[in-house]
Each structure stands twice: as C-alpha cells, then as structure tokens.
Amino acid sequence: MALFALSDPHLSLSGDKPMDVFGGAWFNFEERLKEYWTDRVGEDDTVVIPGDISWGMTLEEAKEDLLFLHRLPGKKILMKGNHDYWWSSLAKLSSFCEENGLEDLTFLQNDAVFTQGRIVCGTRGWMCEDKMQEQDLKILRREAMRLDMSLKKAEVLADTEEEKTGLRPEIIAFFHYPVISMGLRENPLLERLLQSEVKRIYYGHLHNAGSLPLTEERDGLTFTLISADYIHFTPILID
C-alpha cells in the first residue's frame, strides 16, 4: 500500500476543452495518464489530486471525468482547484458519489484524512503576488483559515494514532496553488505551516514550468510541484 500524488489533470471527457492547445505535452494525455497511472498505482494505494480535476461547470458535466478517475486503480483524495467550478457542497458531492457508485473518491475540504500510514491535509490556497486586489487578499485570508482548520484536525488524528500505536504519523500538506511565489512574498499559509509539524508540501497550478526544480526547500520545508504535465502524467510516489 502506497501514497501517490498528481495535480491538474484538467479532464474534459464530456466537454469541448482540448488541452493540446496548451502545448504538445498535452496531446492524447488522457491515454498516457491512464497507462502510467495503471502501471504504478495498485488497488490498495491512494492518490491525492489537489485541484483542477475537471473543466466541467456542473457536477453532471464533470461526471465522465470523475468516472474516468473512478475506473483507475486505487482510492482518490480530491481537492478543489481554481478551475473546479463543478465543486459543490460536501453534502452534494457525497450524494453524487453514492448515486453513481464512486465510493473510492474522497473530497478533502477543511479536514484531514489518515491514509497509508500518513495524514493528508491542506487547502486550495490562492495567488500571493506583489500587486493584489483587496478581493485576492480576502480570499487568501480565508484560505489561511481553512488551512488552520485542516491542520488542527490533522493534529488530532496524529494524536489519536500515536496513542494507539506509539508512533506519530507524518502530516503532509497539499495545496493547489504554490505557497511560495517567485518573489518570495510572505504568505499567511506559509506562516501557519511554519507553526505546524508539517515538513513536506505538494502543490500544482503551474504549467510549462520547465525551469522550476521539481523540489525546492525553504525554512526547513520541502515543496514539490506535481502538476500533471510537469511530472509527465505519472503519479509520483510519496515515500
């Protein structure tokens, strides 16, 4: 049993949003994603997908994309990205999955999940740049609150597991947006992470990021970019 991660698959199986307009790396990417995922991920494994899952505007429009993920091996933990307009309330998402037999999909929001011996937490995040509108700052502050809720629940899960087994599981944080910007602007999400026991952070959102290192370190934290095109549509193993 293993934990994997891949962000930004940008599926559009029932829509008209061809991704190859964004470059040759996206040509026939659904087939490659299916092949590489099936080759690496087993039925007892878990894959975290932190955002930009489907171009669908509604749950019904996203249905084929969610079914595509459902048919792939393993359990999936889904998080919201900036393009996931189909994302609804957790109650509606849960009902939709029950009605369509998508029992292997879990939606993570303001919460944490214990899986594969680790605790998964995090939030969507938001842009953090030098020039931002007040609305952006408002969203960023709200995301910091969501992260705080997620981390607190992760810590409770870690305490519970430690009491049962004597071993404290690692807490790993996932985001859609990067937590550090190219200008290294201070981010309230980063401030909260530095107050936590999290050491590893995974994120997506960025594309055509060939000049960025896959992994970088700052303030004792390790940040790993997992956008699908950047990791060649192959879920990466979190060892």
What is the reported pLDDT for 116? 97
pLDDT tier for residue 23 given thresholds of 50, 70 and 90: low
Task: Pull the structure tokens for residue 217.
Answer: 């370190």
Which residue, 213, 90, 195, is CA-closest to 152? 195
Lowest mean pLDDT among 67-71, 112-116, 134-138: 134-138
Domain that holds residue 226: 3-238
What integer pLDDT is reported at residue 211 of this predicted model?
Answer: 67
> Is the pLDDT confidence value at 204 over 70?
yes
Tally the domains of the chain.
1
Which ranges in 17-105 belong to alpha helices (H)? Answer: 29-40, 59-71, 90-100
Q: What is the DSSP letter of 235?
A: P
pTM (two decimals): 0.94
Average pLDDT, the chain: 92
Task: Please name the residues in contact with 160: beta carbons below 8 A apart, sequence gap of 6 or more.
Answer: none
25 vs 185, residue with greater confidence = 25
Q: Which of 84, 12, 101 is nearest to 50 (CA)?
A: 84
CATH code, domain carrying 198? 3.60.21.10
